[in-house]
């Protein structure tokens, strides 16, 4: 599984800034995910920024005082020599094709360069500039909880993922804890239906947990809870990772989303499947045979990306030689 978090996104953009033509003087984001990538590029290059609708309707977003005085900036689309149209990724190319059509209808194609940060192999010809190859299966931090093909196949923890963790004072297995269950502040609420919610909460707190989930619109197929009679019994057993790992192993889910870094590593080891930790944004690969397959996949992806970079370099050299002959 190829997972990219926001730190990866920033790093992959920075590593490819040199490939952006020097006559680009406007960055245009494709809503919604492309807006994040486009804004990062605009900040690094200190260029004006807008969305596709703003590009078509001559609306450029204003800069703050700290940026305004640095360098010459365009104030209208008419002054733009070339605009970089940015999406975070391209998979099948449908959205990029739609945006091309909108921009062509506005008569702006000649001054537009189309790009994607993460490109499915064999789709790089759908854009003028593909920053990085990123084969499927792939998941991005910025849309993980809304991924309607991953979340229905995922085990998801509750405390620390969907809502805040209880404090030591709230964790009294009594009235304070029951109040926490009623009023816990939400963190990452999925808009896709969760395959399995797997929590260390005790079975006796199912009604309060279900009420909170319903009040925040969390949809799920199954809710699995620990069967201990008390928190002290649960703490004495100290079987958090083995419990979650076994539930995950016995299911047909393909990903576990866990809040604790230490527990994530143990779940991956116990289950032999992938675990994503929201605390560290690490993906823990399975060990044993599963881990060997994971390494083989990584090596194949690296070789594929290397071949792509070599071809790209050859094309640049050929283009330079052609110009020199002319």
Residues 156 and 198: their CA atoms lie apart, in Å, by 6
Q: What three-state secondary structure class fits 133?
A: strand
Q: What is the pLDDT of residue 312?
A: 58
We report the CATH number of the domain holding residue 170 as 3.40.50
pTM of the model: 0.79
**How many domains would you assign to the chain?**
2
Claim to verify: residue 192 and residue 280 sit in the same structural domain: yes
Q: Quick check: 176 and 39 in contact, CB under 8 A?
A: no
Is 75 inside a domain boundary? Answer: yes
Tokens at 22, concatenated: 């020097």
Domain limits at 103?
A: 2-140
Please give the helix or strand (H or E) that residue 277 lies within, else none: strand 275-277
We report the CATH number of the domain holding residue 95 as 3.40.50.2020
Claim to verify: residue 44 and residue 154 sit in the same structural domain: no
Q: What is the pLDDT of residue 300?
A: 55
State the distance between the two ends of the chain, measured CA to CA, in whole angstroms: 46
Contacts of residue 310, defined as CB under 8 A and 6 or more positions apart, other chains included, come to none
Claim to verify: residue 172 and residue 135 sit in the same structural domain: no
Q: What is the pLDDT of residue 297?
A: 47
Q: What is the pLDDT of residue 164?
A: 97
Q: Mean pLDDT for each consecutive 10-residue tract of the chain (326 residues)?
A: 92 97 96 95 95 95 59 81 97 94 96 96 92 91 92 97 97 97 97 97 98 98 97 95 96 96 94 94 73 47 56 63 56
Claim to verify: residue 162 and residue 116 sit in the same structural domain: no
């Amino acid at each position: 599984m190829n997972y990219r978090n926001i730190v990866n996104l920033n790093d992959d953009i920075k590593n490819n800034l040199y490939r952006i033509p020097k006559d680009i003087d406007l960055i245009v984001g494709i809503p919604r995910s492309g807006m994040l990538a486009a804004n990062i590029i605009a900040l690094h290059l200190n260029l004006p920024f807008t969305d596709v609708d703003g590009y078509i309707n001559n609306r450029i977003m204003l800069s703050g005082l700290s940026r305004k005085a640095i360098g010459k900036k365009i104030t209208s689309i008419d002054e733009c020599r070339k605009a970089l149209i940015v999406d975070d990724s391209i998979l099948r190319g449908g959205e990029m094709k739609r945006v091309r059509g909108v921009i062509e209808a506005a008569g702006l194609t000649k001054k537009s360069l189309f790009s994607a940060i993460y490109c499915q192999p064999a789709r790089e010809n759908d854009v003028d500039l593909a920053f990085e190859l990123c084969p499927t299966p792939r998941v991005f931090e910025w849309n993980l909880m809304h991924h309607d093909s991953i979340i229905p196949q995922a085990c998801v923890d509750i405390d620390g993922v969907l809502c805040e963790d209880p404090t030591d004072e709230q964790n009294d297995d009594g009235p304070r804890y029951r109040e926490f269950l009623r009023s816990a502040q939400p963190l990452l609420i999925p808009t896709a239906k969760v395959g399995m919610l797997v929590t260390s909460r005790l079975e006796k707190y199912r009604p309060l947990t279900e009420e909170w989930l319903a009040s925040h619109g969390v949809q799920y197929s199954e809710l699995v809870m620990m069967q201990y009679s008390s928190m002290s019994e649960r703490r004495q057993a100290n079987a958090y990772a083995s419990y979650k790992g076994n539930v995950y192993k016995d299911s047909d889910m393909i990903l576990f989303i866990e809040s604790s870094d230490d527990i994530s590593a143990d779940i991956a080891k116990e289950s032999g499947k992938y675990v994503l930790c929201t605390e560290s944004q690490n993906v823990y690969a399975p060990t044993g045979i599963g881990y060997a397959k994971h390494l083989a996949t990584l090596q194949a992806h690296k070789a594929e990306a290397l071949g792509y970079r070599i071809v790209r370099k050859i094309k640049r050299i050929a283009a330079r030689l052609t110009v020199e002959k002319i």
